[in-house]
Amino acid sequence: MERNELYPIFVKVHQLQVLIVGGGNVAFEKLTFLLKSSPNAQVELVAPEIRKEVRELAKKHRVDLVEEAYHINDLQGKDLVIATTDKTEVNIQVYQDCKAQNTLVNVADTPQYCDFYLGGIVTKGNVKIAISTNGKSPTTAKRLRQFFEEVIPEDINQLVENLNKFRKTIKGNFEKKVDQLNKLTETLIN
């Protein structure tokens, strides 16, 4: 049986420089989900043509728009790159340039040209769940996201805050603290 070998991490994109190459529908989708999850992300978007919706979204966030064709110099200082153009040769060039500079890259809808995938994300206050289908089925990730959005209570953030305060009051070593928190939260899954 095939196994998902991806290692999930949560990236502080407000501390990194993100580049999106492309200004069409796919760029709008990726930018929308990035900013929904991380409204303070630092993003530069490069494309010879940029959709109106992308421009409107960029005005509300920290998104710099550069209306010109992609050039390797656009990678300078970038930590993460997402290629979304409808030109396969441009997307592959972005991928190759990123690999040569050891920059993480995602070429939308092309798993063989991705160092990472943009999965489904559920956010309720301080709780965030990322969902991956190993790049095989974004639709399944979307449905799982919708499911978790419905079943996770809106007041989960209050629980997290209360547990954080309680955790700070527990005396003893790490194992004792983990044991007490596990006992306290076991009813969450029952």
Per-residue pLDDT of the chain (190 residues; tens, 9 = 90+): 889 888 989 999 999 999 999 999 999 999 999 999 999 999 999 999 999 999 999 999 989 999 999 999 999 999 999 999 999 999 999 999 999 999 999 999 898 999 998 888 998 889 999 998 887 888 898 899 999 999 998 888 888 888 888 878 888 888 887 888 888 788 776 5
pLDDT of the residue at 190:
59
Q: What is the DSSP string of 128-171?
A: EEEE--TTS-HHHHHHHHHHHHHHS-TTHHHHHHHHHHHHHH--
Closest CA to 85 of 102, 64, 106, 56: 106
115 vs 108: CA distance, rounded Å: 11
pLDDT of the residue at 136:
82
Closest CA to 43 of 23, 114, 125: 23
pLDDT of the residue at 118:
87
Judge if pTM exceeds 0.95.
no
pLDDT of the residue at 175:
85
